[in-house]
Chains A and B, each alone.
Chain A
Amino acid sequence: MTLLQVSPSTWDWEFAREILPDMLRGLRVTVEVTVVGIAIALVLGLVLAMLRRSHRRAIRWPVGLMVEFIRSTPLLVQLFFIFYVLPDYDIRLSGWSTIVIGLALHYACYTSETYRAGIESVPKGQWEASTAINLTRMQTWRHVILPQAIPTALPALGNYVVASLKDAPLASSVSVVGILAVAKEIQGDTFRGMEPFTIAGVLFLLVSVPLAILVRLLEKRHAFERT
């Protein structure tokens, strides 16, 4: 007696072609939240790194505490907090905003540490020479410190860009239908998992591998510019 007839999956090209447009729509959402999230993270991370070098303890300490806290808790917890707890305080964010803000904040804290390492690799004498030509602190950051610190930080930053793409499927946890959510929906409707999840994996690969190559190229170009 069989309750349900489930044949072992064999790859069905026809089915795969049928679901591909929906899958691509899902990929678009995933890439979108990643790009917006990581773009904010790269800028915010730099700001956080600079704030952690502030002369004022009242700025340096709270920022440091926040960075350590966010780095030590899972992104999923942060997403749930934004999505389910903040509304109690009348801050209501859509799923899309939640995943973007979550990714941005989470990766800002990681990239800030990378920027910080880059900043600390710039010798103290560079700050002193900037003082000797009377630059302001902001001018010193802009013209002397960051142009040396960022190329150093670039390889590690690139890795975070790729990593954030792989965290983006967490969007489905706050009801944003990215590529993985689409795949799961298809599986739920048709009881076929092989094609949608395989396609999801391959599509991720198709985005992240060229991205990784791009990062390596960027790295090399900047390495040349330094000498």
Chain B
Amino acid sequence: MPSSEPEPETSSSAPLAMVHMDKVVKRFGDNVVLDQLDLSVQSNEKVVIIGPSGSGKTTILRVLMTLERPEEGVIWVDGRPLYHQERDGQLVPAKESHVRDVRRDVSMVFQHFNLFPHKTIRDNVTLGPRKTLGLGMDEAEERARDLLERVGLSDKIDAYPSALSGGQKQRVAIARALAMQPKVMLFDEVTSALDPELVGEVLSVLADIAHHTEMTMLLVTHEMRFAEEIADRVLMFDAGRIVEDRPPHEMFSAPREERTKAFLQAVLRE
């Protein structure tokens, strides 16, 4: 759990965790999607989120990426409040520029890739570093080449996304997010839209990143075997709450909660 000990330069409430959510509420109309959610994720931790659809597991990522704004609660990223600024020891709603500043530590890979179709793979991967990290073209391109090699797509640097398979697109999308060198990476069902035979290549890239980087990772996935391989912790979500939070081997071999048991049975039967 997060320590509430003060850090020297920040306010007394700033937690030490990489991601800390404090009583976060997100509603869509009358539908409560995140229900007073508390969550702490330590630096370098790999956390897999599972649960039935509509349980709020994707929303937790979207709220962290600032794609949805929570109605209540405070979210901290590396000791800084994401949606708030401190004024006279109080947390007040933050300006857009502050949100952007904190958001630099977070990036995300999407279910449907969302590559920029009018740009080459090179431009897809270099756009963020050049425009938001202030890298020059040479430096950005060098970084892009390294990352494309890592995901096994060096030869596609001049191609457009339309020339790539789904698995290749998703690997480019992973490279694009990595190029931002975020402290926190969010993966939202990144293999769900792929043909079955293309899932493996994306999962092996993800496993490589999980094992060889210090990044904090939050992954929403239905790939249980993969989750067991790379996760430090698995969170079972239901109705906007975390119903179970344990290491993967315990979660999968001996789930405690009835809802977890039912969910795992349903998923593993497939």
Contact = CB atoms under 8 A, between A and B. Distances in A.
B165 interface: no
B114 interface: yes
Interface string B115-138: 111100000000110011000000
B180 interface: yes
Contacts of A128: 65, 67, 108, 110, 114
Interface stretch (A85-93, A107-115, A133-141, A160-168): A133-141
B65 A148 contact: no
Contacts of A143: 116, 127, 131
A143 B180 CA distance: 17
A210 interface: no
Contact of B116 (A134, A136, A144, A225): A144
B132 A131 contact: no
**Most chain A Cβ neighbours within 10 Å, of B67, B103, B114, B173:** B114
B160 interface: yes
A226 B118 contact: yes
A227 B103 contact: no
A148 B115 CA distance: 12
A135 B162 CA distance: 23
A62 interface: no
Interface residues of B, number: 27
B177 interface: yes
A135 B173 CA distance: 16
Given A139-B131, A226-B117, A133 B100 contact: no
A126 B180 contact: no
A129 to B, nearest CB: 4
A147 interface: yes
A74 interface: no
Contact of B128 (A125, A135, A147, A226): A135
B114 A126 contact: yes
Contacts of B100: 134, 136
Interface string A209-227: 0000000000000000111
Nearest to A128: B67
B80 interface: no
A132 B65 contact: yes
B35 to A, nearest CB: 24
B175 to A, nearest CB: 12
Contact of A134 (B109, B114, B132): B132
A187 to B, nearest CB: 52
B40 interface: no
A133 B176 contact: yes
Contact of B132 (A126, A135, A226): A135
B162 A227 contact: yes
Contacts of A133: 107, 127-128, 131-132, 176-177, 179-180
A227 B173 CA distance: 19
Nearest to A126: B114
Given A125-B112, A227-B162, A134 B128 contact: yes
B104 interface: yes
Nearest to B125: A133
Contacts of B132: 133-136, 139
B118 A134 contact: no
24 contacts: A125-B110, A126-B114, A126-B116, A128-B65, A128-B108, A131-B103, A132-B109, A132-B110, A132-B114, A133-B127, A133-B176, A133-B177, A134-B100, A134-B104, A134-B132, A134-B180, A135-B128, A136-B132, A139-B132, A147-B118, A148-B117, A226-B118, A227-B160, A227-B162
Interface of B: 65-67, 100, 103-104, 107-110, 112, 114-118, 127-128, 131-132, 160, 162, 173, 176-177, 179-180
Chain A to chain B: the 10 pairs with minimum beta-carbon distance, closest first: A133-B128, A129-B114, A125-B114, A132-B108, A134-B132, A147-B118, A132-B107, A139-B131, A134-B104, A128-B67
Given A131-B66, A143-B131, A226-B118, 18 more contacts: A125-B112, A126-B114, A128-B67, A128-B110, A129-B114, A129-B115, A129-B176, A131-B103, A132-B109, A132-B114, A132-B180, A133-B180, A134-B132, A135-B128, A136-B132, A143-B116, A225-B118, A226-B117
